Amino acid sequence: MKYLKNKLLPFLLLVLVAGSTGCKKYIDESNLGAATDQVYFVTKQGFEDLARSNYPNLRYIASMSSLYNMGTDVYSSFSTTDVNALNIYNVSLNSSLLDVDNYWKQLYYTVGGANTTLYWATQVQGIDAATLNTRIGESKALRAYCYYLLVETFGAVPLVTTRTVDVSNAFTRNPESEVYTQIIKDLNEAITVLPTTTTEQGRVTKGFAQHLLSKVYLTRGYKSFGGGAADFNQSATIAEALINSGTYSLRPTFASMFDPSVTNFQVNSEVIFAVQYSTVAATNSVSFLGKAGLPAVAGGSAVAGVAVSGNSLQQYFLWDVQGVATIGRAALYNKPNSSHQAVPDPYFFSLFDKTRDSRYQATVWTGLLAQTAGTLNGKTFAAGDTVIYYPDVAFTAAQKANRKYYVFNPDEYRSSPFTGQTRTFPLFKKFRDPNVTFSDNGGTRDTYIFRLGETYLLAAEAYLQAGNLSKALQFFNALRSRAAKPGTNPASGATYASEMQVTTLSLDAILDERVRELSGEEFRWFELKRTGKLISRTLAYNEEAKAANALKEFHLLRPIPQSQIDLNRGATFPQNPGY
């Protein structure tokens, strides 16, 4: 498999925010000296480098886990005495919050890169038509992706579809309906020119555009300006066509997509698009606005501008085990990152059928093992002994007393006997990275953005909303069949797969299934917002948000960053209501 390469470009992409391009898998650096964009981007090599430079921007966008997960039904803040604005929706969730400011800037920076590529596509010489059309399709699909994230986060936003070469302070906010029209136009045009497959893993293909278009129609179908049943049917048709295309297929087992011991586990028939990393540190730079290093975020410990290499996916949904004797700074369990403060709440763990569903054991560690011999709580452990155990069925006090290791029942996940910890819960192993020491970042795993498992759930949701229950159940149950444990349930004599099938379906059931299938992959806040469930489910299941009781209707949009309002002096640029 050939991987997408990228060259460092010495040119500024002049967009709504300033910066330069980043780097990609198996990078080749080149010093282009005094070359200008007018000289270099009109060449085939220069244009290819420009198109390639759009991909590294996705690394930062994909890594904003707190923005995507905090303040939802199944993820809360690590601290049970919470003051995190993204989780409890307090007055600190305002236009000065760094997370939303950074998000806006990076998304528009990426839009600017796509617009610049589309401009030079009209000027480049010496490139064959097929390659040119593919690069145009990639750029339009990436622009559509960014605008989808922007419009769902902020509502009405400036719609910029041409190259920006001069500073402007007179942008206006286009209505959501206009932004959706542009997204759909970009994706339809991309679908007509993109290839179904690529020899360069990490490039956008037709499947990316189809999957996203299905989600876009599905999301618009819920909106007052949307097409309702027509949009739902369109979404379902696109998702089903992608499923039946033969280009992708569900992996035989869920675990095989996440288990690093499986050879080439990330290069498989189910992944439609992933943000790329590698085991070569020099190719793994994560940049913000094209510059090496990350900005500061609320609650994070990162020093703004300090170069960062590697993914941080392996640091999602953890508590810090280093203070537990015999476990310590265990690379096996990875190190939590203060920039990723979302953790699964007790409701998350209640959603799994631990008897029949294989995904639970593939997602979390139900036991933590001693990494070295030693003493803990007055008891001696050898390396490899169980130190902490999370039973599927709660232990009685007598059963606990019979074990030398710690046992934590599901109703005990919001407390901890360990110094400095406020929670103890089954750590995520879904994103474990054996190539990383007990340290921040440095991850070598790709980040899945779209895979066919989600396409099945898009089809199920779209058909359900269109009133076609039988088709919705068809795709919903197909995914649950794959999720089932192999074999027969000895208690019933029936196969686990048959017991996983359902005959009724609701939006809540689909949202629950998304947790089991897509935890840490989906952008949970977006899914709850789309379905109209963000407020009701978050206040029902997120204990910290429930206690604060501050989540209101206006929180369905994030605040426009104050920095953008202040800079935009040449036109009216109103803040979202409530902020």
Q: What pLDDT is stored for residue 9 in this prediction?
A: 30
Residues 121 and 135: beta-carbon distance below 8 Å: yes
> Are 406 and 514 part of one and the same domain?
no
Domain membership flag for residue 16: yes
> Are 370 and 508 part of one and the same domain?
no
- Return the sign of the alpha-carbon dihedral for residues 463, 466, 467, 468: negative
**Model confidence over 150-186: pLDDT tens digits?**
999 999 999 999 999 888 899 999 999 999 999 999 9
Residue where a domain terminates, one of 440, 468, 502: 440
User: CA–CA separation, 400 vs 396, rounded Å?
Assistant: 6
> Are 134 and 158 part of one and the same domain?
yes
> Which of 51, 55, 59 is CA-nearest to residue 124?
51
Neighbours of 498 (CB within 10 A): 13
User: CA–CA separation, 221 vs 197, rounded Å?
Assistant: 29
Q: What pLDDT is stored for residue 406 in this prediction?
A: 97
User: CA–CA separation, 407 vs 390, rounded Å?
Assistant: 6
Residues 251 and 270: beta-carbon distance below 8 Å: yes
> Are 175 and 285 part of one and the same domain?
yes
The secondary element (H helix, E strand) that includes residue 232 is helix 229-244
Mean pLDDT of the chain: 92
**What is the domain-level CATH number for residue 528?**
1.25.40.900
Q: What pLDDT is stored for residue 33 in this prediction?
A: 58
Residues 487 and 495: beta-carbon distance below 8 Å: yes
> Are 394 and 483 part of one and the same domain?
no
Q: What pLDDT is stored for residue 24 in this prediction?
A: 37
Q: Is the pLDDT of residue 282 over 90?
A: no
By mean pLDDT, which of 19-23, 226-230, 300-304, 557-561 is the weakest?
19-23
User: CA–CA separation, 137 vs 188, rounded Å?
Assistant: 9
User: CA–CA separation, 119 vs 207, rounded Å?
Assistant: 24
> Are 400 and 534 part of one and the same domain?
no
In this structure, what token pair is assigned to residue 31? 């010093």
**Model confidence over 111-135: pLDDT tens digits?**
999 999 999 999 999 999 999 999 9
Residue with tokens 């002096």: 569
Q: What pLDDT is stored for residue 297 in this prediction?
A: 65
- Binned at pLDDT 50, 70 and 90, residue 295 comes out as confident
Q: What pLDDT is stored for residue 305 in this prediction?
A: 62
Neighbours of 328 (CB within 10 A): 15
Q: What pLDDT is stored for residue 34 in this prediction?
A: 62
Domain membership flag for residue 302: no
**Model confidence over 54-68: pLDDT tens digits?**
999 999 999 999 999
- Binned at pLDDT 50, 70 and 90, residue 440 comes out as confident
Q: What pLDDT is stored for residue 79 in this prediction?
A: 87
User: CA–CA separation, 229 vs 232, rounded Å?
Assistant: 5
Residues 8 and 21: beta-carbon distance below 8 Å: yes
In this structure, what token pair is assigned to residue 361? 């054991």
Residues 528 and 468: beta-carbon distance below 8 Å: no
Domain membership flag for residue 576: no
> Are 431 and 453 part of one and the same domain?
no
Q: What pLDDT is stored for residue 12 in this prediction?
A: 29
Domain membership flag for residue 21: yes
> Which of 224, 154, 282 is CA-nearest to residue 532?
224
Q: What amino acid is encoded at 543 in this protein?
A: E
**Model confidence over 536-553: pLDDT tens digits?**
999 999 999 999 999 999
**Model confidence over 1-25: pLDDT tens digits?**
445 644 333 232 333 333 333 333 4
> Are 323 and 402 part of one and the same domain?
yes
Higher pLDDT, 439 or 370: 370
Domain membership flag for residue 475: yes
Residue 366 is part of which domain span? 313-440
**Model confidence over 516-533: pLDDT tens digits?**
999 999 999 999 999 999
Produce one character per residue of 80-89: b if its CB has 16 or more CB atoms within 10 Å, e if not: bebebbbbbb
> Are 380 and 523 part of one and the same domain?
no
Domain membership flag for residue 338: yes
Pairing verdict, β 200-201 and 367-369:
unpaired
In this structure, what token pair is assigned to residue 534? 């963000």
Residue where a domain terminates, one of 419, 440, 461: 440
**Model confidence over 194-220: pLDDT tens digits?**
999 999 999 999 999 999 999 999 999
> Are 152 and 200 part of one and the same domain?
yes
Compute and round to an integer the Cα radius of gyration of the chain. Answer: 24
- In percent, the amount of the chain with pLDDT more than 90 equals 83
Q: Is the pLDDT of residue 457 over 50?
A: yes
> Are 374 and 405 part of one and the same domain?
yes
Total number of domains in the chain: 3
Q: Looking at residues 81-102, what average pLDDT do you find?
A: 94
**What is the domain-level CATH number for residue 109?**
1.25.40.890
Q: Supply the angle between the helices 229-244 and 452-465 in degrees, to the nearest 10.
A: 150
> Are 327 and 393 part of one and the same domain?
yes
Q: Looking at residues 77-83, what average pLDDT do you find?
A: 87
- In percent, the amount of the chain with pLDDT more than 70 equals 92
User: CA–CA separation, 74 vs 538, rounded Å?
Assistant: 8
Residue where a domain terminates, one of 384, 409, 440: 440
Separation in Å, CA 184 to CA 308, 419, 473, 483: 35, 52, 27, 32
Q: What pLDDT is stored for residue 83 in this prediction?
A: 87
User: CA–CA separation, 180 vs 222, rounded Å?
Assistant: 13
By mean pLDDT, which of 25-29, 36-40, 197-201, 503-507 is the weakest?
25-29
Please, which residues have CB within 8 angstroms of residue 489's CB and are 6 or more apart in sequence?
355, 356, 495, 496, 499
User: CA–CA separation, 451 vs 448, rounded Å?
Assistant: 7
Domain membership flag for residue 258: no
Domain membership flag for residue 156: yes
Residues 268 and 484: beta-carbon distance below 8 Å: no
Q: Is the pLDDT of residue 301 over 70?
A: no
